[in-house]
Chain A
Amino acid sequence: MGLEDRRAQEPDVYQPAEDSHLLAEAACERLERGDLVLEVGTGSGYVAHQIADETGARVIASDLNPHAVRQARSAGVETVRADLVSPFRDGAFDAVVFNPPYLPTDPENEWDDWMERALSGGEDGRAVIDPFLADVGRVLAPDGSVSLLVSSLTGVDEVVEEAGEHGFSAVAVADESFPFETLTVLELFR
């Protein structure tokens, strides 16, 4: 589904799509009861809710978008309005999960509204992923790991390389192909 179609359905909050399902499934497989998990950019709260429901882990969900945190909270998810991982303590989480805005977007084509913020990764698709990779290590427990959804449109190799710059090794734990892109869930660990 293209940006235009997605925008027409729900103007303020990104709703669960193929990427959300793939990320939730991959995260559920390796998380367990007792884990403390952060979902960054939760949107509707779908992924956070699935993880909490399926694994019994405690999931905290954050989003920049005030409409998203309200929607996620009404879905029963613990929510915080935040910029990426900035208001979370050092070493707090066993896992961080993120389905980032990753679509490369022509600057002249941006709408400057909440749905654009949820989808657009800037010109190279990595405008949000790069600062996330720079800071996420701080909030991970020593054995903690990151589940990050990446599209072939964003460049999986480029993301793996950038993660390496911040001390992470990357393994692809799930992928699914669509006509215009392949979605991959990367697990990042140190």
Chain B
Amino acid sequence: MMHFMLLFSRQGKLRLQKWYVAHPDKVKKKITRELITTILARKPKMCSFLEWKELKIVYKRYASLYFCCAIEQNDNELLTLEIIHRYVELLDKYFGSVCELDIIFNFEKAYFILDELLLGGEIQETSKKNVLKAISAQDLLQEEEAVEGALKEIGLL
């Protein structure tokens, strides 16, 4: 099971954090800071895995963003790389060649996409198409509500 996923920039700014295991805020911050420093200090020729406490950390850099996941000892680290890649593909499809700014300004969308891919730290959907379908259906639901609200406001509904 994945314990958490962090997205952060090359400058060490946190862009997304998803925790599947409960920790007090203080601990979360400490872990985040520690991992960001460790990973940013690693050289590109080093492998994507590190042992950290009882967990395995799997990370991969895409452009200016680092995707970092903490998994358990008996989880498959190579598969975790695939999950990260799948998530990046989904973001890319959704935003259309995604960049860091897309994730900064639409962080909630990035969370929504992640929540359709993983649930409780495990994969729930292996089809890209299904994930994107679910997201766009929900976006549509929101849009309908916005229009409806606007119509109500001016007394049309």
Q: Do A and B assemble together?
A: no
- A-binding residues in B (CB < 8 A): none
